[in-house]
Amino acid sequence: MPDTLNPAFLALPSSGHQETAADAAFRAELHAFAREHCPPDIRALVAAGGKITRKTYARWQQILHARGWSAPNWPVEHGGTGWNLRQRTIFEEVMADNDCPPLYHHGLGHIGPVIMHFGTPEQKSHFLPRILDTTDWWCQGYSEPGAGSDLASLQTPAVRDGDDYVINGQKIWTSHAHEANRIYLLTRTTRGERKQDGISLFLIDMDTPGISVRPIRTIDGWHHVNEVFLDDVRVPAARLLGEEGKGWACAKYLLERERLPAASVATLMRQWRQVARLLETCRALEPLRDYSTLDADLLTQAARIKGAREMLASATGAMLRKEPLDARPSALKLACSAVAQSLSRIALLAVGPTGSRQFLPESATAMASSSGLAVQNYLYARSKTIAGGTTEVQLNVVARSLFGV
């Protein structure tokens, strides 16, 4: 591998954000923990780019929970670490560097903070500990067949009936619904002048009568997303999160955090290293092949990752100073999505036509061929510019921030 493509290039501190001695000691502590406590089979699966399921996510989170690190983004009073944003970024980078799984986002990164902010004392005491110890596994019931990027157009009605709400409707593209035991669900309880008015958020058990889940098979052949159908589902009023009709505030609060996760850049750094290793494997198998174009492309992606890291550092600094983030989350989402797709393309070109004919089952292990996983990851990466907010939506957010349009 040329010196310019050495993975250590990505580990250099960001310019203008040099780490303190305390940061360096913290980083060293995290490295030692990851090497000692993350099981080798989990690290091998992650290093190979294999599919991570609830079983693997939960196993690693339980190890972190025993150390008190299962919620890096939570305050101490709710069972979190109390780390600041810079410490959380270091944590994500070190875990990615050691091929540890990312933390499952729906509970820890999404609904957990929303419950902290909008929930009743009873909701906090019941749900938050169950997220930390992996008793509860959440999925997100937001998108509908007619309300994806334009989420405020959702129609699923929730009608008050005594002490319950009765919900009928359909959600789509629901990631991990087949593994989850709870869903946080946006519904329409009333209609107002704006379509954002009258939306309410509920916390619902997936085994509630009337809920059914149907898998959606995506082009990568693996099971990620689902349709969720609700047929006269009765939900106690105590499971309403926040005020009735004010659920859009909850949704916005969640989405702002969804698009600025500390793990976003760290995940790209790990993916870059995976592709670099794959290139070296291919180079050893076909030493006469010219890899100069792929090497140059990989180096370009390294530079783009460094740029994304600077963007994340800027946003982190703004959050620490309690300044508005403006379009930073959308800009970072755009950058990370593009790099993820580019890296998957480099991997696919590296394995070539022979490798591209391999297609692995969802049960593929860490010992599965790198060529087959390159195909899966390339196809899965097509969703990066759609999931979590389409590229077009993010560009509109950036344009409005820059030009006021």
b/e map 220-239, b = 16+ CB within 10 Å: bebbbbbbbbbeebebeeeb
Q: β-strand 138-141 against 158-161: which pairing, if any?
A: unpaired
Segment holding 112, helix H or strand E: helix 112-118
Residue among 51, 281, 80 nearest 179 (CA)? 51
Q: β-strand 138-141 against 182-188: which pairing, if any?
A: parallel
b/e map 353-383, b = 16+ CB within 10 Å: eebeebebeeebebebebbbbbbbbbbbbeb
In angstroms, the CA 329 to CA 20 distance is 26
- Count Cβ atoms within 10 A of the Cβ of residue 395 and give its class: 0-12 exposed, 13-18 middle, 19 or more buried: middle
Segment holding 229, helix H or strand E: strand 223-236
Q: Which of 244, 258, 280, 362 is catalytic?
A: 258
Structure tokens at 134: 């992996």
In angstroms, the CA 356 to CA 115 distance is 44
258 among known catalytic residues: yes
In angstroms, the CA 16 to CA 166 distance is 54
- CA 30 distance to own-chain centroid: 21
131 vs 61, 108, 135, CA distance in Å?
10, 7, 6
Q: β-strand 211-217 against 138-141: which pairing, if any?
A: unpaired
Segment holding 212, helix H or strand E: strand 211-217
CA end-to-end span of the chain: 46
Residues that are catalytic: 258
